[in-house]
Amino acid sequence: MAVLGATLVLFAGLVGVAAASEELPPLPDVSIPTDAETIELGERIVMARCKTCHSLQYLRDEETLQPLLSGITPDTAKKQFGVVPPDLSLIAIARPGGAAHTYAFLTGYENDLGDCEKAANRFISGGCTAMVDPRLSDEDALAITAFLKEAADPNEKIRVQIGIWVEIFLGILTVMAYLVYRRIKKRELG
């Protein structure tokens, strides 16, 4: 059993090594709020500001149930900014570091443009971005991050809630099955 455990630890380590690799500055150590109020604030900011250029295609409008599209068409955006602004529904899990990267990006703008045409950001590879500094307060950036995290993984809450009960159930079942096995082992092997 000890060797088995060691194998599993080794395996987890190997996967951990595989997950970590990127040459950007270390992401800020930030805890993303999960309370409904902050997420709602984030949603309001995203709908009022971000959605002008960014779509959130996997989220739906509460009334029409249509996917949330950006205020400007991708073609217009391409003409205006040179690129189509990325969809935001999965952005909080689609970058190395996850939601911490979203927050870092929103607050990582440099005043000195350097060689960049539109804006300089420490947390993007190459250092340049077509998105101009949204000049957000820390609270607003955090609220946006909280909302986008929820948008990217909307099932997290229910998953954890159900998961705990599944683990408790399996735990009891495993212990019971083990006790059964011990009795059978005693009977069969003496």
Partner 1 sequence: MAEKGSLSRVYDWFDRQLPVTELMENHATKYPTPKNLTYWWNFGSLAAIFLVIQILTGILLAVQYKNDPTLAFDSVQRIVRDVEWGWLIQPMHAIGASFFFLVMFIHLGRGMVYGSYKSPRALLWLIGCALFMVLVIAGFTGYLLPWGQMSYWAAQVITEVFSAVPVVGQTLVEWVRGSFVVSDATLSRMFTYHIVLVPILFIMLTVVHISALHKVGSSNPTGVEIDKKEKDKFATFHPLTTAKDAWFGLLVLMVFFAFVFFAPHYFTPVAQFIEANPLQTPPEIVPEWYFLSMFAILRSIPEKLLGVVALFGSVGILFFLPLLDRSPVKRAFSRPIFRWGLLLFFLDFIYLGYLGTKPPLGANLVAGQIATLYYFLFFLSLPLVTWLEAKMAAKKGAKDE
Contact 167, 136 (CB under 8 A): no
Residues of span 86-105 touching partner 1 by CB under 8 A:
89-90, 93-96, 98
Length of the chain: 190
CB of 136 to partner 1, least distance (A): 23
Position 83 contacts partner 1 (CB under 8 A): no
Q: Which amino acid is at 165?
A: W
Q: In what order do the strands lie in the sheet with 119-121?
A: 109-110, 119-121, 128-129
If the CB atoms of residues 14 and 36 are measured against partner 1, the closer one turns out to be 14
For partner 1, the binding residue among 11, 25, 36, 76 (CB under 8 A) is 11
If the CB atoms of residues 8 and 113 are measured against partner 1, the closer one turns out to be 8
Contact 51, 71 (CB under 8 A): yes
Alpha helices, H only, the chain: 2-19, 36-48, 74-81, 99-107, 138-152, 156-189
Which phi and psi angles does 138 have, rounded to 5°? -55, -40
Name every residue whose Cβ is closer than 8 Å to that of residue 43 and which is 6 or more positions away in sequence: 147
CB of 139 to partner 1, least distance (A): 26
Residue 136 has a CB neighbour count (10 Å cut-off) of: 17
Total residues interacting with partner 1, rule: CB under 8 A: 45
CB of 110 to partner 1, least distance (A): 21
How far from chain centre, in Å, is Cα 20? 15
Position 65 contacts partner 1 (CB under 8 A): no
Position 33 contacts partner 1 (CB under 8 A): no
Which residues contact partner 1 by CB under 8 A?
Answer: 1, 4, 7-8, 10-11, 14-15, 17-19, 21, 58, 89-90, 93-96, 98, 125, 152-155, 158-160, 162-164, 166-167, 170-171, 173-174, 177-178, 180-181, 184-185, 188-189
